[in-house]
Amino acid sequence: MDRKILFVCLGNICRSPAAEGIMQKLVQKWGIESLEIDSAGVLGYHAGELPDSRMRTHALKRGYVLSHRSRQVTMNDFYNFDMIIGMDDRNIDDLRDLAPSPEEWKKIHRMTDYCRKTTADHVPDPYYGGSQGFDHVLDLLEDACEGLLTFLTQDS
């Protein structure tokens, strides 16, 4: 399979590091060794920070340890990753703006396109919401990550 996937949200402290953590656990569970996973934010104002403490707490209840340090998307990401997966339309638009050329747009995908059990057009940002928002995001990401992994393993 040998694929490299980058999950992207706005600040890389809630949704994308959660997607990274969920996917890492699934990859380990499925015994897949040829998949590199990372996450980044469109904006870099949280660079170097751990994921939001509320997201870490909710993720840990499900067995996910989120230890990624936030970073901003770079130009090299468009060359180094096979898939760049945004959480919402704003992320997708920002990624297209950041891409070095329209050729790299082919690598940009929407996270919820891989959902199998849930119908959603985006993964909402839980940052300003309550506790249930973090659980909802984790539900969506678990569904989408499983769908993405199924897609990738059928593709190879």
Q: Give the domain CATH number at 114.
A: 3.40.50.2300
3-class SS of residue 134: helix
Question: What is the value of pTM for the model shown?
Answer: 0.96
What does the pLDDT look like over 36-88, one tens digit per residue?
999 999 999 999 999 999 999 999 999 999 999 999 999 999 999 999 999 99
Catalytic residues: 9, 15, 125
In the chain, the DSSP E strands lie at: 3-9, 35-41, 83-86, 108-110
- Domain residues for the domain of 117 are 3-155
